[in-house]
Amino acid sequence: MEFTWSEWLKSQLFTTPLLYWRDLSGQTILITGGNSGLGLEAAKHLASMNPQRIIIACRDTKKGDAIKDSLIGTSVEIWPIDLDDFSSVTAFIRRYQKSGYDLDIFLSNAGVGHSTFNVTRDGHESTVSDSCRIQTNHLSNTLLILGLLPVLRQTAEKKGQARIAVTSSEMHLLTSFVEKKYIDEDLFAALADRDKCTTALNTERYGVSKLFQVYTVNELAPLLSKDKIAIHSFTPGLCHSDIARLQSPLMQKVDYALRTLLGRSAEVGSRTLVHVCVHESLRTDAGPNGRYFTDCRERGMPLMGIEIRTNRQGRDRQVGGKVVKQSVQLLMKYAPDIVRESVEGGQEEITMDADVTSIYIPESIFHVITAEQ
């Protein structure tokens, strides 16, 4: 899978994804970041498909309550979550586990795109543990996925399938990921070190956080197939949204100009979100798990044992495995019980004496978990 500006411009200016509709009667849908932008537009489409309920997980519950009336045709619940705070994510997971609800579709959509270096209360860069972007976009979303796996497994066992859809970005193909040089040390400590984040690297942190999401999806995919849990990632393209609301005033103006000239509406962008959430061809029994989509079309399987190349550098499976391994090790420090529980009930055989140095195989992330017990 390669990125080219000509293909991107063709997609943005001349391609309109089609909306796929499927009856979702009796299903429960969870959407993070569903109170605005792409998440809200996807929620509107999904609500029209007759699900039993939609749960909107967001930081601003007042804003969430304000949009409930726009989701016609289903029961809507607004649950608080702050992805900058691991304790909030943990509380959300426990609440869901105790609710007794199934989880048929989990749309992991929430994220931030600010251009400044910020550290969360947990000490990680907000975008990935850049500290802010990395925690919000990658670590907390990974914790949420792992924490909800027991519910997803129960749903899949009862109904035959469950699904996770992860909002990524083409920016993951453009980042140089300079911090890869710390991959055999403490990657997330380096990402959280303000002194290591130059102005040039800071502009790439959003792309790094999205790259880590793709790594996570493709490490989980082979394991979750055995549990009949489909997991795929996608890009909605450049859309009119408020994701740049936390950027500097200058970057907000640049972002606004780009979206005005080249952006598609949030509604059009949301059609790819909906496609990955509901299309029958994405079931685990209908094709490979861990695919990546653009404009409702499969773009490739970027990290499933295949080296992908961008216009800057190749990515390989070893790097992805190491990133996910360190992610899980870090999450074990903040939510050990929840991460351990993500193993229980899975179809993959996990042994206590697993060789955690063999991190290039799909089982690696669960080997990390069991080795910590």
Catalytic annotation, pick one of 11, 108, 210, 342: 210
Q: Which of 206, 241, 327, 342 is catalytic?
A: 206
Give the domain range for residue 292.
5-371
Q: How far apart are CA 38 and CA 21, in angstroms?
A: 17
Q: Which residues contact 253 (CB under 8 A, 6 or more apart)?
A: none
- Tell me how many domains the chain contains: 1
The phi-psi region of residue 22 (left if phi > 0; otherwise alpha if psi is between -120 and 50; otherwise beta) is beta
Active site annotation includes 158: no
Instruction: pLDDT tens for the chain, 373 residues: list them.
Output: 567 778 888 898 899 999 999 999 999 999 999 999 999 999 999 999 999 999 999 999 999 999 998 998 899 999 999 998 999 999 999 999 999 999 999 999 988 755 555 555 565 544 433 445 788 899 999 999 999 999 999 999 999 999 999 999 888 887 888 888 989 888 998 888 877 766 556 678 888 899 999 999 989 999 999 999 999 999 998 888 766 665 667 666 776 777 778 889 999 999 999 999 999 999 999 999 999 999 999 986 544 333 333 333 334 567 888 999 999 999 999 999 999 998 776 665 433 333 333 333 344 555 555 555 5
* The dihedral formed by the CA atoms of 62, 67, 68 and 73, expressed in degrees to the nearest 10: -170
- Residue of 168, 225, 342, 364 with catalytic role: 168
H or E element at residue 56:
strand 53-58
- Please give the Cα distance from 97 to 295 (Å, whole number): 34
Asked about 210 being catalytic, the answer comes back as yes
Type of residue numbered 195: D
Contact, 207 vs 175, CB < 8 A?
yes
Q: Which string of DSSP letters, residue by residue, matches 23-76?
A: --BT-EEEEETTTSHHHHHHHHHHHTT-BSEEEEEES-HHHHHHTGGGSTTSEE
Helix (H, G, I), strand (E, B) or coil at 235: strand
322 is catalytic: no
Nearest-CA neighbor of 147 among 236, 199, 81? 81
| Domain CATH code at residue 351 | 3.40.50.720
